[in-house]
Amino acid sequence: MAEHNDLGAKGEKMAVDLLRKKGYKILDTNWRFGKDELDIIAQENNELVIVEVKTRSTEYFGYPEDFINKAKMQRLVRAAAEYIDRKNIGLECRYDFVSIVINRRKTEIRHIKDAFYPF
């Protein structure tokens, strides 16, 4: 597996651990719909939470969440709608980001609730 894939997998595991510690119920990970993927699907109280995880080894070019563009957000919304439809989920839905920087000097993890609203 490529080094960036290892970093991404490590970041997703860290994000799942963080969300569980915060009391979230993890419903699915790496759920695919065509070419679209939802990294983490969780539930917090009466809300479905779609979580996009971005992991980088440096924030030199910007924080990981800075690399989530409008097209990516549209793909998340499309995949989430399909997930909700297939699983017949009747909860309100929100979109969070988990931003992770991992390198030899530090590990920084940030959970950004309500990172965007569907458009």
Q: Which CATH number characterizes residue 53's domain?
A: 3.40.1350.10
Determine the pLDDT at residue 47: 97
pLDDT 10s digits, 33-88: 999 999 999 999 999 999 999 988 777 676 777 778 899 999 999 999 999 999 99
Torsion 40-20-115-90 (CA) sign: positive
Q: Give the residue carrying structure tokens 């390198």.
A: 103
Count up the domains in the chain and report the number: 1
Q: Which stretches does DSSP call E strand in the chain?
A: 25-33, 36-44, 47-56, 92-102, 107-116
Determine the pLDDT at residue 65: 78
What gap in Å lies between CA 59 and CA 43, rounded to an integer?
29
Domain span at 77: 3-116
pTM, whole model, 2 decimals? 0.89
Average pLDDT score, the chain: 90
